[in-house]
Structure 1
Amino acid sequence: MPVRRPRPSFALAAAVATAAALGATALATTTASAAEVPLSGYELTWGIKQSYRTYVSTYAQGSFTATDGASQAANNGVFTFTAGAGTYDTTSHAVHLTFKGTITARSTLHGFVREMSDFQYDSAAGTLTADLVADGGAKQQDVTLATVAAPTSQDLSNLATTLTAAAGTFLGSDTYANAAGDPLSAVKPASTTSPAPSDSSTESASPSPSPTPTTTATPSTTPSATPSDTASPSDTASEPAATEGEIADGTLTWGVKESFRSYVVGSVAKGSITTSDGAAQSAGNGVFTFTGATGGYDTDADTLSAAFEGAVNFKGHEDNGTYGLDLTFTDLRATLDGGTGKLTADVTSLGEKSEDVVLADLKAGSADLTAKDDVITLDDVTTTLTAAGAKAFGGFYETGATLDPLDLSVALTDDATLPSDDPSSTTGTGGSAGNSATTGSTSGGVTGSTTGGDVTGSLASTGSEVPATALGAAAAVTVAAGAGVVFAMRRRRTEATEA
C-alpha cells in the first residue's frame, strides 16, 4: 500500500502580499525554525486538457461531475478547485496548498469512470498531483498528473503544464504523455476573505518563484518544426529553367499527422491505412508520397500551382463489416504565392465526398521559388489547419492546429531528375495496418509508473482510447499529442448507447 507522504511546499504569488501584510513585527515573533506562514482561501483553475474534455463529452458520450467544492465552467469548460490552504516558507519562498474538490468523468458509451480529487500544486518541485480512482478501484494517492512551468514573474496565472505518463495511462492514451495540458492558475480571488490581511495586491502579488524548481519543464509539444532556412534551394542551377511554364512531374510528401496515423493502426481503432492511385507510404507507418504532379509555375512571380495523383484511406473501428472510421484524401493540390499558400484535397468521409476542401495554410521557409537543375524543391513547409478545414472536419479540429510538415519537388522539364523520396513503402496498405493491434498508442492494462504511485486501467482496455475528432455528422474524438487529430467517426448504431 503506497505511503502517503507529507504535502510539499510550493511558491504562490499571493504569499508575498500576505507576508508583507503581516509586517516585520509579526514575522519577528516567529522562531527561526518556524519560517512558514499559514495561507488559506486560494483557488486552483485547470482544465486537464481541452481535447480530453471534448472526447469525454462527445465520442465517449459522457460528462463531467464537479463535487465537494469543485466546479466546471460553462460549455464543458475548465475546472476550479476551492478552499486552497497551506503555508508559505519565508526562507525558501516556497508555498504548498491543498485544494478541495472532486472531478468525475463518466462515459455512457464505454462505461468508464475516472475520479480525481485532493489536488496539490508544488512550485518547488514544479508538479501538480492528485488522488486518482479508476472504475471504482483502489485509490492511488499523490499521483503526479502534470509538471508545471516555473513562474517567470510574481503572477501564478496561466502557467504552462505538461501531462505525465501516469496521466496518459489514467486518461486512457499514452499520446498524452509529455503533451501540453491546459494552463494552470493558483490565485487568491479578490472577493475571498481570510485571516491574512488583504489589500488590492492580494490577488496578483506573489513571492518570488522557488529558486530551485528542479522539475519545472515547460512543455514543448509543437507538432512540427520551424521551416528550415534551406527550404528554398540555392540559386546555383547549372542550366536555369524557363521562368514560367507547365510542370512536367513532381512529388508531394506529407504525413497528415503522425499521432493520427498511430491511432488508426493502434489497439483501439484496429484499422488500416491504404494508399492507391500513385500514392505510397513510408515503412514504419510513415508519411505519404503523392506523385504525377501537373500544373504551372512562375519563378519570377514566385508562384506555383501543383496537383498530385494518389489517394490515402484511413479505416478503423470495424463492427460486423461496418467501419466507424472511413476517411479518404484524394486530388491534393498545393498553391504558393510568395512563400505562402494553400493545400486542398477532396475529402470523402463515410461515403460523402467534399471537393476542393482547403485543408491547410502553407508557409515555406523562403518567399523565393528557385529552380536548380530544372527542379523546384521546398522542404519542411509548415501546414496549419484553416477555418474551412476545421469546418470540413466537423469543427472539432481547431483552426490553427499544426499538421505534419510538407515536402514538395516539381520537375520543370521532362528530362529533369527529381530527388529520390523512396517511400520504401508498403504500397497499398501502409504502416502496420495488417498488424494493427501492435502499433499505436495504448494497450489495455498498461501500468503507469510515476512519483506518487502507479495507476492502472486505461480507457484503451474498454475500447476507448482518446483519439481525435469527428467528421461531418460523425461522433467526435479528439486527442492530442499535442494538438488534436481529426478523423471521421460513425456514431454507434446501438440505440442503447444513444444517450
Structure 2
Amino acid sequence: MSARARRPLALAAAVATAAALGATALATVGASTAAAAEVPLSGYELTWGIKQSYRTYVTGFAAGTFTPADGATQAADNGAFTFVDGTGTYDSTAHTLDLGFKGSLSIVSKAHGFDISLSDVKFDSAATEITADVTKNGTTTDDVPLATVTVTRAMTDMATTLTAQAADVLGSASYEGAAGDPLTVVQKTASQSPSPSASTSASPSPSPSTSTSASPSQSASPTPSASSSSSASTSASPSPSGSEAATEGEIAYGTLDWGVKQSFRTYVVDGVAQGKITASDGATQATDNGVFTFPDASGSYDTDAGTLAASFEGEVNFKGHEDNGTYGLDLTLSDLKAELDGGSGELTADVDSLGEKSEDVVLAKLKAKSTELTVTDDVITLDDVTATLTEAGAEAFGGFYPTGTELDPVDLAVAVSEDAELPEGDGESGSGGTGGSSGTSGTTGGTTGGTGTTGSTTGGVSGSLASTGSEVPVGALGVAAAVTVAAGAGVVVAVRRRRTV
C-alpha cells in the first residue's frame, strides 16, 4: 500500500483536553505522556452504502443479494449498511481517531458470477480512508482501502471517493475515482471516553471560534451532534434577501441539471452498447460523460403556496447496439418540465423511442429537501431533488430499470428577474450541479461517443435512469443479456419489426 499523507484533524480545545486526560487517565498517576495521548474509544457505529447505484445493480441486473452478518445490518429498501461495536483510540496529540467495527457483508450473484465478502471495516481519520478485509474468489486480502473520506468535525454524511482497489473489488474500472455514498461515524453507546468530533481544519490547535463553540458544557455531550448541528443550521439558513423578493410571478430564465442516471450514461457510451449520446437545441453535457443542463426555463412560481412549474429547452439522444446502421437503442428526451407543490412533484418529458413519440411522459416523482421555496438574490435554487422512476418512466426506457429506482438527483436554478445571476454548478459529478452552461462543456449540442468515438466536446447530453453517481459494472454483463436489459424486450421486437418491413 502506498504511503498516504496523514491529515490531522483539529478538535475543540475542551474536547481535546477531556479526551487527553479522561477519567481513567486522571486516576493513573504514573501514566506516561505517550500513554496519555491515546484514549480508548468504544460504542461507535459506521454507516456507509458503498454506492447506491452499485446496490441497485447487484439486486437488479445481477439478481444478487446483500447479506449482512455478525451484527452488521442493512437499511430497508436496499439501503446503506451499518457496522457496529466500533472500538479504537483517540490521539489527543494529533487529534485523530482510528476505529475498527464488527460485522460482515456478503455480496453474491450467481447470474454474474461473483461472491464477495467484506469484514473488519475500519475508519482512520488520519489516513482519511475506509478499509476492509476483502474475500473474493476464495482469497482474502486484509485492510483493502475502499474509499478516501473528506473528514468533517461532525463525522456525519462525509463525502467519499472510491479507490482503484474498490473498483477491482466491485468489478468495474469505472468506479475508480467515483463518488461513493456518504459516510457517518457516530457514538451510539456512552462510555467514559469522550466522543471526539472531527474538523476540516488541518491546524493541530483549534481556532478561537472553534474553542468558543466547544464550551466545557458541550464537551460533556456523548456525540458531536450538538456543535455540528448549530453550525449546519446557520449555514443552511436562507438569505434575508429572500423575504424581499416578489412572492409569485413569471420565471425569467433558468436551468435544470440532471444526469438521468450515471450507470445508464456509462452503459451507452462505454458499455456493451458501444453507442453515443448527442445533445442539441441548447442542451449541454458536462465533461467526461457528465450530467446534462437544459436551459431557457419558462413558467411560474409562488413562494407563498410553495409551487413552481418550469419548462426547459433542449433535447438529448441515446443510441446504441448498432447493427448495419440500425440501432437497437434509439431514445430521445425533450421538452423537460419540472413541477413542485409543497416539495413534491413530477419530472416529465417528451419521449421518442425508435421513432415512436409520446408526449409529457411522467418519468420521475420529485421530492425536494424542503416543502418551501425561497428566493435569494432573485433566484430560486433547489439542489439534490430526489428523482424516483415511475412506472411510465420504466416503460419509456424499455424496462432498463424497475419502477421505484432512484435516478440521478435534479438541480434547479430559476431567476425571477432578468438581472439575476444563476449560481455556477460544477457540471462534472454524477450528482450534477446547479448552474447554467458555464458549468458544462459547450453551448449548442454535441456528441459523446463510445470507446474511440468521442465526438465534439461542445454541447452535451441529457441522460436519465442512473442512480446518483454510480456506474453499472458493464463488464459483468453478457452481450445478449445487456441488449435485453438496455433496450428491453419491446425495443428488440420493435427493431425486428422495422427490419422485416
Name the TM tier (shorter chain).
0.5 to 0.7
Aligned-residue identity in percent: 42
- Residue 483 of structure 1 corresponds to none
Structure-2 separation of matches of 1:346 and 1:208: 49
Q: Which residue of 1 aligns with 2:405?
A: 396
Question: Does residue 1:314 correspond to 2:318, yes or no?
Answer: yes
Bigger fraction of residues in helix: 2
1:49 corresponds to: 51
Quick one: which of 149, 158, 161 aligns to 2:159? 161
Tell me the secondary structure at the aligned position of residue 405 of structure 2. coil
In the TM superposition, what is the alpha-carbon distance from 1:25 to its structure 2 partner? 1.9
- 1:491: how far off? 7.2
User: How far off its partner does 1:24 sit?
Assistant: 1.4
Distance change in 2, residues 1:365/1:18 (3 Å) = closer
CA distance in 2, matches of 1:348, 1:283: 23
Residue 359 of structure 2 is matched in structure 1 by 355
Q: C-alpha displacement at 1:266, in angstroms?
A: 0.6
Distance of 1:57 and 1:320 partners within structure 2: 34
Which whole-Å CA distance do the structure 2 matches of 1:71 and 1:59 have between them?
23
CA distance in 2, matches of 1:387, 1:11: 37
Alignment-derived partner of residue 179 in structure 1: 179
Q: CA deviation at 1:61?
A: 1.3
CA deviation after TM superposition for structure 1 residue 347, in Å: 2.1
| Alignment pair present for 1:272 and 2:276 | yes
Match for residue 449 of structure 2 among 408, 429, 432: 432
Structure 2 counterpart of 1:207: 196
Q: Is the 8 A contact 1:47 1:79 kept in 2?
A: yes
Contact 2:25 2:31 in 1 (8 A): no
Give the letter for the 2:406 counterpart. Answer: Y
* Residue matched to 2:488: 490
Q: Distance in 2 between matches of 1:254 and 1:9?
A: 36
In the alignment, is residue 170 of structure 1 matched against residue 169 of structure 2?
Answer: yes
Q: How does 1:42-81 map to 2 (within 5 A)?
A: 42-81=44-83
Contact between 2:149 and 2:161, CA under 8 Å: does it hold in 1?
Answer: no
1:385 Cα deviation after fit: 5.8
Deviations 1:272-309 (A, max 9, x none): 33579x78988987998999x9x999xxxxx999786x
User: Is 1:345 aligned with 2:349?
Assistant: yes
Aligned to 2:116: 114
Task: Tell me how far 1:160 sits from its aligned partner.
Answer: 0.5
SS for the counterpart of 1:34 is: helix
Cα distance change on mapping 1:211 and 1:3 into 2, 3 Å: closer
Change (3 A) 1:105 1:121: same
Deviation per CA, 1:462-491, whole angstroms, max 9, x where unpaired? 2389xxxxxxxx96xxxxxxxxxxxx6637
Paired residue type of 1:123 = S
1:240-389 equivalences under 5 Å are 259=262, 261-273=265-277, 312-316=316-320, 326-331=330-335, 344-348=348-352, 354-357=358-361
Kindly name which structure, 1 or 2, has the bigger radius of gyration based on alpha carbons: 1
Cα distance in 1, alignment partners of residues 198 and 377 from structure 2? 43
Pairing partner for 1:82 from 81, 84, 98: 84
Q: Aligned partners of 1:304, 1:107: CA distance in 2, in Å?
A: 43
Distance 2:92 2:384 in 1: 47
Distance 1:96 1:213, change over 3 A: farther
Distance 1:383 1:263, change over 3 A: farther
The offset of 1:162, in angstroms, is 1.2
The one-letter code of the counterpart of 1:111 is: G
Contact 2:41-2:88 within 8 A present in 1 as well: yes
Please state whether the residue corresponding to 1:131 is helix, strand or coil: strand
Instruction: Name the CA shift for 1:433/1:21 in 2 (closer, same or farther; >3 Å).
Output: same
**TM-score relative to the length of structure 1:** 0.54
Distance 1:406 1:187, change over 3 A: closer
Q: Distance in 1 between matches of 2:381 and 2:2?
A: 51
Once the two structures are TM-superposed, the CA of residue 346 in structure 1 deviates from its matched residue by 1.0
Residue pair 2:108, 2:115 contacting (<8 A) in 1 also: yes
Gaps of 5+ in 2: 204-249, 301-307, 395-402, 412-431, 457-471, 492-501
Partners in 1 of 2:67 and 2:24 — Cα distance? 39
- Deviation per CA, 1:237-261, whole angstroms, max 9, x where unpaired? xxxxxxx9xxxxx9x9988569454
Alpha carbons of 1:21 and 1:255: their partners in 2 closer, same or farther (altered >3 Å)?
closer
Q: How far apart are 1:111 and its partner, in Å?
A: 1.5
> What's the TM-score, normalizing by structure 2?
0.54
C-alpha displacement of 1:108:
3.4
* CA positional deviation for 1:129: 1.4
2:217 counterpart residue number: none
Report the CA distance shift for 1:37/1:405 in structure 2 as closer, same or farther (over 3 A): closer
2: distance between equivalents of 1:406 and 1:209? Answer: 31
CA contact (8 A) 1:11 1:93 kept: yes
| Counterpart AA for 2:349 | A
* SS of equivalent to 1:189: coil
- RMSD of Structure 2 on Structure 1 (CA): 5.9
**Of the candidates 100, 103, 108, which is equivalent to residue 101 of structure 1?**
103
Q: Give the SS at the match of 2:274.
A: coil
Greater RCO structure (CA 8 Å; 6+ sep): 1
User: What CA distance in whole angstroms lies between the structure 1 residues aligned with 2:381 and 2:478?
Assistant: 33
Does 2:151 correspond to 1:150?
A: yes
2:118 and 2:134 in contact (8 A); partners too? yes
CA positional deviation for 1:121: 1.0
String of CA shifts for 1:99-127, please: whole Å, max 9, x gaps.
23221212233212333222111122222
Query: C-alpha displacement at 1:460, in angstroms?
Result: 4.3
| Paired positions, count | 371
Separation in structure 2 between the aligned mates of residue 289 and residue 364 of structure 1, nearest angstrom: 22
Distance 1:431 1:114, change over 3 A: same
Distance 2:151 2:318 in 1: 41
Contact 2:284 2:294 in 1 (8 A): no
Distance in 2 between residues matched to 1:313 and 1:9, nearest whole Å: 47
Structure 1 counterpart of 2:476? 462
In the alignment, the residues of structure 1 paired with residue 374 and residue 20 of structure 2 have an alpha-carbon distance, to the nearest angstrom, of 51
Paired residues for 1:21-60 under 5 Å: 21-22=23-24, 24-26=26-28, 28-35=29-36, 36-60=38-62
CA contact (8 A) 1:44 1:99 kept: yes
Query: Which secondary structure does the structure 2 equivalent of 1:207 belong to?
Result: coil
Query: Alignment partner of 2:195: what SS?
Result: coil
Q: Give the residue type in structure 1 aligned to 2:404.
A: G
Deviation at 1:353, TM superposition (A): 5.5
